[in-house]
């Protein structure tokens, strides 16, 4: 069942989204050569709890123990922070963060580069970010979920990349996973009708090679089957009366992409 947010709930939700956005921006200074993902996750947890007086809502989800997922290079999603994952020059990494405050959960992720990355990696990250926005631009009352997925997949394929199909965006609010599901592929004019007050994530996972996935032995981490790179960006989005509002928009996103990535 879809929970359509009221004007009062949206006011509270904006505050939650702003916190999540700010934390991802703060983490830019901590993603560098020689730092391990365990320390990044613990720093994020400290920010959420002590600076923002909020809840790291991913802790306890399916027995997960960290405030964020850290997915490096060929890891598509659900990378588990640990002290052995030390960042090195040329890595790309996605940090996927959830924050709960005011009774609402905001979910957002961002790609980071470590030192000098390859042009191929930079292009993948840039196109994936563009895919996110292609999907967001389809958000308005009267459109359907399929319009989002179609726009995402078309842009990825036009750039010779593939879309992971096993994982999707999702409704979000008081709970982490609500209705509807937001696939990153689909047909225009199909799927759930978008209505004012809906909140959901758009979070395309785009692969450099095949779209095929593989689960590691921990039964949590998901990697590309062919070992090639994967990238992901994510926002929590609200359907407004005329279009959309991004609840997790970062201040840095008012700048040109190449100036801050």
Q: What is the CATH number of the domain that holds 234?
A: 3.90.230.10
- Give the per-residue pLDDT at 61: 85
* Domain encompassing residue 83: 7-260
Instruction: Give the whole-angstrom CA distance, residue 133 versus residue 111.
Output: 14
In a domain, 1, yes or no: no
Flag whether 2 is in a domain. Answer: no
Question: What pLDDT sits at residue 62?
Answer: 85
- pTM of structure: 0.96
Q: Residue 249 in contact with residue 235, Cβ under 8 Å? A: yes
Bridge partners of 202, per DSSP, are: 235
Tokens found for residue 253: 């996103």
Residue 154 lies in a domain: yes
Please report the pLDDT score of residue 259 as a whole number.
52
CA-to-CA distance for 237 and 46, rounded, in angstroms? 26
Structure tokens that stand for 77 in this block: 């999603």
Could you tell me if residue 225 is inside a domain?
yes
Residue 122, in any domain of the structure: yes
What domain count does the chain have? 1
Handedness of CA 252, 180, 56, 75 (dihedral sign): negative
Q: Which residues pair with 224 in a beta bridge?
A: 213
Residue 252 lies in a domain: yes
**Residues in the chain, pLDDT under 50:** 260
């Amino acid at each position: 069942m879809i929970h359509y947010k009221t004007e009062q709930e949206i006011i509270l939700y904006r505050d939650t989204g702003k916190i999540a956005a700010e934390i991802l921006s703060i983490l830019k200074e901590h993603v560098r050569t020689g730092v391990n993902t365990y320390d990044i996750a613990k720093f994020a947890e400290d920010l959420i709890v002590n600076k923002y007086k909020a809840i790291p809502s991913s802790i306890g989800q399916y027995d997960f123990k960290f405030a964020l997922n850290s997915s490096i290079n060929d890891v598509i999603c659900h990378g588990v922070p640990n002290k052995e994952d030390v960042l090195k020059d040329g890595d790309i990494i996605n940090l996927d963060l959830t924050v709960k405050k005011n009774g609402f959960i905001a979910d957002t992720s961002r790609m980071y580069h470590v030192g000098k990355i390859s042009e191929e990696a930079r292009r993948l990250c840039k196109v994936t970010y563009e895919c996110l926005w292609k999907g967001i631009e389809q958000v308005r009352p009267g459109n359907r979920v399929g319009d989002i997925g179609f726009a995402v997949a078309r842009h990825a394929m036009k750039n010779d990349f593939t879309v992971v199909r096993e994982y999707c965006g999702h409704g979000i609010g008081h709970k982490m996973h609500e209705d509807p599901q937001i696939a990153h592929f689909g047909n225009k004019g199909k799927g759930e009708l978008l209505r004012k007050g809906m909140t959901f994530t758009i979070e395309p996972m785009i692969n450099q090679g095949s779209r095929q996935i593989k689960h590691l032995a921990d039964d949590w981490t998901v990697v590309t089957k062919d070992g090639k790179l994967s990238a992901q960006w994510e926002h929590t989005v609200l359907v407004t009366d005329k279009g959309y509002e991004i609840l997790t928009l970062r201040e840095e996103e008012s700048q040109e992409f190449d100036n801050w990535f």
